[in-house]
Amino acid sequence: MSFNTDFKNGIVILGAGNVATHLSIALKKANFSIKCVYSKTIQAAKTLALKVDSHYTNEINQIPVEADLYIIAVKDEIIEEIIKHIKLKYGIIVHTAGSISMNVFENRFENYGVFYPLQTFSKFRDIDFSTVPVCIEANDEKLEKILIDLAKCISNSVHLIDTEKRKMLHLAAVFACNFANHMYSVATEILNQSDIPFDLLKPLIIETAQKATDSDPQNAQTGPAVRNDQNVILKHIELLKDKPEFEKIYRFVSESIYKLNQKTDTN
């Protein structure tokens, strides 16, 4: 016996966090049936299950064994633990993690892969899943195609990316998302302390992101660091003298901007 390629025996979601929530909702909207939501926290499982019209459980051995697809969307560090305990008859099993190899499933399952949606998800915020790049990997070509077809039901941006590339992509995403966002956080802290409303920075943040994605970020760079304007840089460092943490970031990032620019100029 084998899984149904139309997933008519349903999908099990392991996890009830941000990725699990947005992915389940997208699958449900595309008319897939979510059979069960599992989370260690029963309330989290219930909350998500209600949204996608599914059963739920906080006991791993209560998960149905006859679903067609099992999607592990939990914190990276508990993926291996979950894999040890999950039982299934014939279904496909995938995880959604950027940094975890596909071979974490090896020798335990017959049909496995990775279904990595590359986006920053927060529960409080709706996402148009059709714009979310989904990176697919599978342990054989037939399964690759099945997972690609599934991903295409919820996204217009589906890519075959192997484990090594996916790891680099995830690392790049940490810079482009989490680290860029931290720069906004530092900016907000600086504004708060001077009683300046964050609203003043919003058009700048949006335009910076749009300019970088419309051309390329190195070409789009402006400001004192890329001009190596030491006059302004030293004034800024002086303004940060009570914030050693931010001063350190200021120095390092400014140097790095200048160096990267030099490298590009001489190429």
What x/- string results for residues 233 through 262 when contact with a second copy is judged by CB under 8 A? --xx--xx----xx-xxx-xx--xx-xx--
175, 241, 242, 265: residue in contact with a second copy (rule CB under 8 A): 175
For residue 13, the cross-strand partners are 37, 71
Length of the chain: 267
178 forms part of the interface with a second copy (CB under 8 A): yes
Closest distance to a second copy from the beta carbon of 29 (Å): 18
For residue 138, the cross-strand partners are 113
Interactions with a second copy, residue window 105-124 (CB under 8 A) = 118-122, 124
43, 103, 188, 262: residue in contact with a second copy (rule CB under 8 A): 188
Q: Which span sits near a second copy by CB under 8 A: 22-30, 87-95, 137-145, 163-171?
A: 163-171
2 forms part of the interface with a second copy (CB under 8 A): no
34, 74, 132, 146: residue in contact with a second copy (rule CB under 8 A): 132
Closest distance to a second copy from the beta carbon of 240 (Å): 7
Strands 69-72 and 134-138, sheet pairing: unpaired
- With CB under 8 A as the rule, give the number of residues binding a second copy: 97
6, 81, 149, 207: residue in contact with a second copy (rule CB under 8 A): 207
Closest distance to a second copy from the beta carbon of 137 (Å): 14
Closest distance to a second copy from the beta carbon of 9 (Å): 32
205 Cβ contact list (under 8 Å, min separation 6): 184
Residue 40: C-alpha distances to residues 43, 58, 152 (Å): 9, 5, 30
Taking the least distance from each CB to a second copy, the nearer of 46 and 205 is: 205
Integer Cα distance of 60 and 70 in angstroms: 12
Interactions with a second copy, residue window 27-86 (CB under 8 A) = 75-77
165 forms part of the interface with a second copy (CB under 8 A): yes
Taking the least distance from each CB to a second copy, the nearer of 145 and 217 is: 217
Q: Which span sits near a second copy by CB under 8 A: 1-9, 27-35, 141-149, 229-237?
A: 229-237
31, 61, 185, 267: residue in contact with a second copy (rule CB under 8 A): 185
102, 159, 160, 163: residue in contact with a second copy (rule CB under 8 A): 159
